[in-house]
A and B are shown apart, each in its own frame.
Chain A
Amino acid sequence: MAENQFQLPQAHTGANTSTSALRAERPLLIALEGIDLSGRTTQVELLRDWLTAQRYHVTTTAWRTSPLISDVLARARLGPPLRPLTYSLLYCADHMDRTQQVIKPALQRGEIVLADRYTYTAFARDTARGLDAAWVRDLYHFSIPPDVVYYLHISPEEAVKRRLALQRQRLEKVEKSGKDGGRKGEMGEGRARGKDGKRSKEPEKKQAQINTTMPAPILTGEALESYRNFEIKMYSQYQNMQKEFEFSVIEGNQSIDQVQAMLRRAITNLILNINA
C-alpha cells in the first residue's frame, strides 16, 4: 500500500523547520478491539509504522504485556489452572500497571497511544466467563477512556475459520521441521515460540509484547467446539458494547490492506478534526 495515500497533517512542530521531536496537537489514545483473530495486532503494527513514518511519536501497548503481571501469569502457568475470577483480577492488574507505566506517561508526553485490546476485552471476556458485568466495569474505573475504539468486526464463524487455517499452517511447518510443537502444554508452546521468534524476519519482533504472546494450542473436537462457543459469547458481548461505548466499526472480513486503509482514513479524519 502506498504510504502517502493519506495525508496526515505533519505533527505539530511549532516552527516548521525543526527536525527535532514532533508532537501531535494533543495526545491520542486509540484502541483496537475485536474477537480473537480479528487482526488487531497486525493492524496496530501497521498503524504504528505508518504514524511513525509521518513523524508522530507512537507508543503501542497490548493486553497482558505489563512486565509485572506477565511474570505472575507465567508463574501461574506452572501450576494448576487458576479460576476465571483470579484471571479477571490479574488482567485488571495488567491493565492498571500498563496504564501507569506506559499509557499515562506516553499521553503526558503528547504521544499517540495505540492499544491492542483495551478494557472492552476484559468486559467481554469476564462477562462471557460468568462474572458480574457491573462489577467488572467498576473494577476498571481507573482506566483512561480512549479517544476512539475501532472494533474490527468479524463473525465467530470467521474466527473459527481463521483459527483452523492457522493451525493448518503451523502443522505444516511442524511437519517440515520435525516433530516439535503440536499438542504440548502451554510451557512447551512458550519454548516453541521462542524458536519461532528467532526465525522471524522482522527485527522489531524483539518487543516484549510479542515475546509474551504465545501461539494458541492446536484445537480439535471438543476443544475446538468450546473455542467456537466462547467466541460466539465474546462476539455477542462486543455486539452489545458497540452502542454503549460508541465503537467505530470496521469490517474485519477484508484483506489486511483494506482494513488498514479504512483505519488510516478514520485516523486521518480524527486528527484533522482535532487540529481543526
Chain B
Amino acid sequence: MSAEIQMQADSFSPLIPHAYPGRLLAAEGLDGSGKSTQLQLLRFWLQAEGYEALIAEWSPSKLIKRALKSGKKQGHMDPMLMSILHAADFAEQHERDIVPALKRGAIVLADRYVYTALARDLARGIERSWGENLYRFAVRPDLGIYFQISAEQSLERILSNHPRLKYYQAGMDLGISRDPVASFRAFQRRIIVEYEKMIEADSLLRFDAALPVKQQQQLLRNAVEGILPDS
C-alpha cells in the first residue's frame, strides 16, 4: 500500500508482492472449471516433492452466511455490501491461514482468490476503483491462473453435479431474469469480461479448462515449477 504503487487503468496490480519464503498460487475461473480437481492433484504432487502445500478454499464461512441469507430473503442485497461482507470473510482467512502459511514457507494453493471476488463484484456493478481498493490488503500471488471455460460449459458441469443453481451463483440478486439459468448465463458472461481484463492487466496465465485433466495438470506443474523456492 505504498504511494509508489501506480494505479493503471483496469488493472488490479496494486496488490503488494510479498517477501515471504512461501509461494502463493491463485486459481481463478468460473464454477465448474475444474480448478479444485487440479489443485488437489497439484497438492499431492507438491507434497510428494517435499513441500508443505495447502489449499485455501474461498467459500463463505458461517460468519457471513446468515447475513447473505437475510439479503436473499429480502430479495435485495446491495452489491457493495455483499462485496464487503465477502471481503471481511476473506480477510479473516487471509490473515489467519494464508499469510502465516506463507511465512512458514508453505505453498498456498488458493482455490479462488481476490480476482474472482473482484470479477464477481464488478459484474454486479460496483465501482471499479472502490472494489480494487477493497482487496488491496491481499498479497499478490506469485502465480495467477485463469481456468477458462464458457458460461455454457460452466452451467453444464454445475448441473451435472447439483440439482439446481444457487441463488447468488446464478446472480439472482441482480434481477436480470427470473429464470435462474438465463440469469446465470448473463451473470457469468459479465464475469468472463472482467476476467479477460484482469488477464491482461495482472498477467494471469490462461488455461484451457476444456483440456483433459492430465494434460492440464502437466501444464500446471510446469508453471508452478517456475515459482517454487529452492529447497
What residues of chain A have their CB less than 8 Å away from a CB belonging to chain B?
68-69, 71-72, 75-76, 79, 82-83, 85-86, 88-90, 92-93, 96-97, 100, 131-132, 134-135, 138-139, 141-142
Contacts and interface: CB of A to CB of B under 8 A. Distances in A.
Contacts of A71: 66-67, 70
A81 B94 CA distance: 15
A132 B5 CA distance: 14
Given A83-B96, A93-B85, A96-B80, A135 B133 contact: yes
Contact of A68 (B67, B92, B95, B136): B67
B134 A100 contact: no
Nearest to A82: B92
Given A72-B85, A90-B85, A134-B1, 9 more contacts: A68-B67, A68-B81, A72-B66, A86-B88, A86-B91, A89-B84, A90-B88, A131-B137, A135-B133
A86 to B, nearest CB: 4
Interface of B: 1, 62-64, 66-67, 70-71, 78, 80-81, 84-85, 87-89, 91-92, 94-96, 129-130, 133-134, 136-137
Contacts of B92: 82-83, 85-86
A132 B89 CA distance: 19
Contact of A89 (B70, B87, B96, B129): B87
Contacts of B78: 96-97, 100
B133 A75 contact: no
A134 B92 CA distance: 20
A142 B85 contact: no
Contacts of A138: 129-130, 133
A73 to B, nearest CB: 9
B67 A85 contact: no
B137 A96 contact: no
Contacts of B94: 85
Lowest 6 A-B CB distances belong to which pairs? A89-B88, A83-B95, A86-B92, A138-B133, A132-B1, A85-B91
5 contacts: A68-B70, A72-B67, A85-B94, A93-B84, A138-B130
B63 A75 contact: yes
- Secondary structure type dominating chain A contacts: helix
A5 to B, nearest CB: 42
A81 to B, nearest CB: 10
B80 to A, nearest CB: 6
Contacts of B133: 135, 138-139, 141
A142 B70 contact: no
B91 to A, nearest CB: 4
Nearest to A80: B96
Contacts of B134: 139
Contact of A96 (B62, B84, B96, B136): B84
B163 to A, nearest CB: 28
A92 B91 CA distance: 13
Contacts of B71: 68
Given A86-B95, A92-B84, A96-B80, A75 B1 contact: no
B84 A75 contact: no
A33 B209 CA distance: 53
Given A75-B62, A89-B91, A100 B67 contact: no
A100 B1 CA distance: 29
